[in-house]
Structure 1
Amino acid sequence: MKKLSFFLVFLTLILIVAACSQQDSENEGGEGGSETEATVGNGEDDGVYMVGIDTTYPPFEFQKDGEYQGIDVELIQAIAEDQGFKIELQPMDFVGIIPALEEGELDMAIAGMSITDERKEILDFSDPYFDAGLALVTTKDDSEIGSLEDMDGKVIAVKSGTTGSKFVGENQEQYGYRIAYFEDSPSMFLEVANGHAQALVEDYPVIAYAITARDLELKAVGERLTDEKYGIAVLKGQQDELLGQINEGLRNLQENGTYDEIVKKYIEN
């Protein structure tokens, strides 16, 4: 009887040890799965959100003395501080920003990006943070061009991948101009200043700042061609919580006066 009791106790101990070992194995497997899942999404994983910017776009984004500056740069930094998250700026050509968002290389983008129905198909936008619009620009001494009606047979310079590019493409047949595409704004300005193109199309606040800051021999003519609003972009349906923080931070900055201070630093009203 004692032998049987000892055997039962021994068997029970074996079963307990085996059960504990299996439980430990399952826990290790679960933790491993959580780690793998946590690597999805830059900001959620390490607390740092990757932000796409285009540093050839003053006064919104540019580089000076090795530092990124501009309305967009200071605005997203202030939003991040207000909402308690960290960001890392990722400069790139404007045309590469949306593909980078789609590939998961960026969490958000702030790049003077106009809110359009076409972009809304793949992006979610914050509340608008700036009212912009396209302007037609010529050299200061040009007295022939006052609107698109005067561009028949002439060349318009425009930056690739922008709403300006889309606008001139859609209206080319109606007004009869030719189009020269560029990857950055400075090259586009130079093309008109040198007389290789007779006009350019650019966002009004950008060209207004450039003419003043760089003393360009250019001028905006006629009425604004469009009425556009800028927004901060994230990939559609993927960053709802982050977008909520962005909007909350933006509202806070507008209410406490920080937004106006940032804008006035670069654009005189």
Structure 2
Amino acid sequence: MHVLTKRLSPLLAMLLVSGLTACGKTEVSAPKDTKSDVAQVIKVGSDMTFPPFEYMLDNKPAGFDIDLMSEIFKTSNATVDFVDTRFSNLIPGLEGNKFDAVISGMYITPERLMKVDMIPYFKSTESVVVLSDSAYKPKVRDDLCGKTIATQKGSLFPDQLNKISKESCIAKGKAAITVREFDTSPQAIQAVLAKAADAQYDDTSVAKTAVKKLNNRVEITSTEQFFPFIGGIVVRKGDTATYNRIQDGLEKMKASGEYDALIKKYDLIAPTADEIKTFMAQAQKKS
């Protein structure tokens, strides 16, 4: 060390010695706080073509599901990044880790509960929509026989219509229902407007919204409650952390009155605690 120092300028030698001395010190940094004050971003898949549940307004997600999910995660210091995805790709996307959760007016069924976990949050049924000036005014399932009915692909609606066709039409010697599937609900109603389908079969709340949006060019004529159901927020099977976080946020909204306010705003129906208990018990038993 002395030989090397003699060959260098006094300033350079001093810097070198200081540097080596510094390298010999062990510096202990303060442990990082694992709890960040920055809000976490949660990715949520949703089909933004299904008003009043979710749709685009001024290039931004809007609707009951959007407001609900945003408030649910706000209670735990998180924000939501909604990913617009067609309905049939939502559960596969969740299973493929593209989202942390899914909300899209999705029915709770035994088949879905085999793949994912679902948190009940609204109830509804289905309605049939036709052109207001049409002579065709279907009221009950038998009235759909021999007709072309438009509906949303990937939903339970095609299966329901095929079930009606088999049990209420073919079994009674009537003509089968021709089911036309479209990627989105607006495309299905457009088929009715273009007279490419006799009617549309859809969620009642969605059908009501379509009637208003189209200034009564279409109307709901059905009087039957076809397949009453309860809808659920979807999380990956076994993801208890996300499930509990959503459930807790939803309960806080119910306690504060925010949930009831949103239900009223979007003209939806809230299931009672007893209805949820009974429905989920039956669905889980079958799954």
Task: Find the counterpart in structure 1 of residue 5 from structure 2.
Answer: none
User: Does structure 1 residue 147 correspond to structure 2 residue 148?
Assistant: no
Task: Find the counterpart in structure 2 of residue 209 from structure 1.
Answer: 209
Change (3 A) 1:268 1:52: closer
CA distance in 1, matches of 2:72, 2:214: 29
Say whether the 8 Å CA contact 1:209–1:267 is kept in structure 2: no
User: Does structure 1 residue 102 correspond to structure 2 residue 131?
Assistant: no
Task: Find the counterpart in structure 2 of residue 72 from structure 1.
Answer: 65
Code of the aligned partner of 2:183: E
Say whether the 8 Å CA contact 2:145–2:165 is kept in structure 1: no
Say whether the 8 Å CA contact 1:125–1:232 is kept in structure 2: yes
Q: Alpha-carbon deviation of 1:168?
A: 1.1
Say whether the 8 Å CA contact 1:124–1:234 is kept in structure 2: yes
Code of the aligned partner of 2:140: S
CA distance in 1, matches of 2:200, 2:268: 23
Code of the aligned partner of 2:233: I
Please give the root-mean-square deviation of Cα atoms over the aligned residues, in Å.
1.7
Code of the aligned partner of 1:222: T
Change (3 A) 1:258 1:103: same
Aligned pairs for 1:3-18 (under 5 A) are none
CA distance in 2, matches of 1:255, 1:212: 31
Q: Alpha-carbon deviation of 1:268?
A: 7.6
SS in 2 for 1:83: coil
SS in 1 for 2:150: strand
User: Does structure 1 residue 137 correspond to structure 2 residue 129?
Assistant: yes
CA distance in 1, matches of 2:213, 2:73: 28
Say whether the 8 Å CA contact 2:65–2:105 is kept in structure 1: yes
Task: Find the counterpart in structure 2 of residue 244 from structure 1.
Answer: 244
Aligned pairs for 1:87-236 (under 5 A) are 87-126=80-119, 128-144=120-136, 145-174=138-167, 175=169, 176-220=176-220, 221-236=222-237
Residues 13-38 of structure 1: per-residue CA shift (max 9 Å, x gap): xxxxxxxxxxxxxxxxxxxxxxxxxx
Q: Alpha-carbon deviation of 1:185?
A: 1.0
Code of the aligned partner of 1:132: S
CA distance in 1, matches of 2:84, 2:229: 23
Q: If each structure's helix is expressed as a fraction of its own residues, which one has the higher value?
A: 1
CA distance in 1, matches of 2:128, 2:188: 13
Q: Alpha-carbon deviation of 1:254?
A: 1.3
TM-score under structure 1 length normalisation: 0.78
Q: Alpha-carbon deviation of 1:143?
A: 4.2
Say whether the 8 Å CA contact 1:136–1:147 is kept in structure 2: no
Residues 213-251 of structure 1: per-residue CA shift (max 9 Å, x gap): 3324222212121111111001111x1011111111111
SS in 2 for 1:130: strand
CA distance in 2, matches of 1:152, 1:262: 37
Q: Alpha-carbon deviation of 1:209?
A: 1.6
Q: Alpha-carbon deviation of 1:133?
A: 1.0
Say whether the 8 Å CA contact 1:204–1:224 is kept in structure 2: no
Say whether the 8 Å CA contact 1:140–1:219 is kept in structure 2: yes
Q: Alpha-carbon deviation of 1:120?
A: 0.4
CA distance in 1, matches of 2:225, 2:87: 22
SS in 2 for 1:149: helix
Residues 150-196 of structure 1: per-residue CA shift (max 9 Å, x gap): 22221011100112122112232232111111001111111112221
Q: Alpha-carbon deviation of 1:102?
A: 1.0
CA distance in 1, matches of 2:218, 2:227: 20
Structure 2, unpaired ranges of 5+: 1-38, 170-175, 270-287
Code of the aligned partner of 2:76: Q
Code of the aligned partner of 2:153: S
Code of the aligned partner of 1:235: R
State, as a whole percentage, how many aligned pairs show the same letter.
28
TM-score under structure 2 length normalisation: 0.73
Change (3 A) 1:131 1:268: closer
Task: Find the counterpart in structure 1 of residue 44 from structure 2.
Answer: 51
Q: Alpha-carbon deviation of 1:253?
A: 0.6
